[in-house]
Homo-oligomer: A and B are copies of this chain.
Amino acid sequence: MRVDIEQRILAANDHLAEVNRRRFAEHGVFVLDLMASPGAGKTSTILATIAALRDRYRIAVIEGDIASTVDAEKVRAHGIPAVQINTGGACHLESAMIGRAVDTLDLSVLDLIIIENVGNLVCPSDFDLGENAKVMILSVPEGHDKPYKYPNIFQVSEAVILNKYDTRAVFDFNEDEFRGVVRSLNGTAPVFAISATKGDGVSEWAEWLAGRIEGAKKEAAS
């Protein structure tokens, strides 16, 4: 019974995700769904990514939070359009919410939309938003054992960002073990070690993202 309800919710979500996906493709907009725990540094990573790519791409951000507009305000302070979704209790974004947020953006003047999902290592991994790629962040203070406990989000992510890398001396983080478990769950996702607030490692991540954006453009043109 519970499973049936979940399947109906997911099927309805997948239908609207396809609507979003066609809409993004028509306008040649690349959409990234960025997922992580609360406090892993999603907003800081978005700001660092904007700094690295704003000369090449026209960017907007969709911020998902249970409550507050803290994150959208931080992004707007950098002159980047940001739409705040307040889920009012829901622990993840769904494609219908993204559809309504996108209604407020002019897709014809955008190359890249970064969606900041609700801080949660579980539910966002189940919901297709119509994005081109899901990417996740794990931060060093969370610990190297997280892939054992939250395997699905590591499996659905096309890249893994290891943030707060500059703090690894302070925490007991076994990077070899972390990379090994990530590789066993996901044979293809690159792992980018970065410090979003200090900028270390951000260019490698940003170039990977730029490569994905260019790849999507070529595919759309062919």
A→B interface (CB under 8 Å):
2, 5, 9, 37-40, 65-68, 70-71, 89-91, 118-123, 126, 139, 141-143, 145-146, 148-152, 164, 167, 170-172, 197
Q: Is the CB of B118 within 8 A of A141?
A: no
Q: Is the CB of A66 within 8 A of B122?
A: yes
Which residue of B38, B121, B170 contacts A170 across the interface (Cβ within 8 Å)?
Answer: B170
Counting chain B CB atoms within 10 Å of each CB, which of A68, A71, A122, A167 scores highest? A122
Counting chain B CB atoms within 10 Å of each CB, which of A90, A118, A120, A139 scores highest? A120
Chain B neighbourhood of A148, CB < 8 A: 67-68, 70
A/B interface sample: 26 pairs, CB < 8 A: A2-B9, A5-B5, A37-B119, A38-B149, A38-B150, A39-B141, A39-B142, A65-B149, A66-B149, A67-B151, A68-B148, A70-B145, A89-B126, A89-B152, A91-B123, A118-B122, A119-B121, A119-B149, A119-B150, A120-B122, A141-B141, A141-B164, A141-B167, A167-B167, A167-B170, A167-B171
